[in-house]
Amino acid sequence: MDVGQQHHLDRTTGHRRDAAVLFADLSGFTELVESVEPEIVYQVVRPLMDDLVDIARRHGGEIQQVLGDGFMCVFGLHTTRGDEAERAVAAGLELVAAGGARLGRPSVHAGVETGEIYVTASWPPAGYGVWGRPVNLAARLCDLAGPGELQIGPRAFAQVRRRFGPARAARTRLKGLTAPVLTHRISPQRVPQHTEPDHAMIDAA
């Protein structure tokens, strides 16, 4: 087998696994870009994005891609511990708390869902590719979330409700999906400061 053929096989083979997917984006990024010089955009956004990436990695997330105003990461990409959804939601809560006007930063919104994904090799600079419904749904949930909010999908919430529940659920129509999705909205402001995360309250979307 020549090197070219081996390279082709490495790029097209993959495996399935259960994982949690987290998307995070900055709110108002387009308005920021339109209102100030690009150097100012960089000075405002880069420190926040660095902090967000550090938070995600500290909770065990692996960054799949970083864009100008957000990123996607996966929990449980290589090792399944059984707490992937909890770590993704905990990271999401910390991410949305890291931004906001009171800190002089753009607000952050995020989305989380879990499920079976298909993992492949990818082209540089991304280290891997991730495909499947949880990826799409987590991205749509991130779009749905308002500034300073985390939206959680039905499978992820079912796995974390003991730690972050109870919650009232709402059926939400998301772009590109034919059926409504059960979504849950959580905001760090709703978490009592004197309690442990196990008693955090979720306010449904």
Domain ranges of the chain: 3-152
pLDDT over 70 for what percent of the chain?
81
Higher-pLDDT residue of 78, 74: 74
Lowest mean pLDDT among 65-69, 83-87, 146-150, 186-190: 186-190
Residues 155-172 have pLDDT tens digits of 999 999 888 876 668 999
Are 157 and 55 spatial neighbours (Cβ–Cβ below 8 Å)? no
For the cut 80, the answer to whether the pLDDT of residue 196 exceeds it is no
**First vs last C-alpha separation in the chain:** 54
Superfamily of domain 3-152: Nucleotide cyclase, GGDEF domain (3.30.70.1230)
38 cis-preceded (ω within 30 degrees of 0): no
pLDDT the model gives residue 166: 66
13: left (phi > 0), else alpha (psi -120 to 50), else beta? beta
Average pLDDT over residues 78-101: 93
pLDDT at residue 183 in the model: 94
* Gyration radius of the chain over CA positions: 18
Task: Write down the pLDDT at residue 195.
Answer: 33
C-beta separation of 56 from 80 below 8 A: no
Half-sphere exposure of 199 toward its Cβ, with a 13 Å CA cutoff? 5
Q: Over 80: is that where the pLDDT of 123 sits?
A: no
Can the peptide bond before residue 47 be classed as cis, meaning omega within 30 degrees of 0? no
pTM: 0.82
Per-residue pLDDT, averaged over 27-34, amounts to 88
Token pair belonging to 58: 């500290």
Dihedral over alpha carbons 166, 89, 177, 123 (to 10 degrees): -170
User: With 90 as the cut, is the pLDDT of residue 51 above it?
Assistant: yes
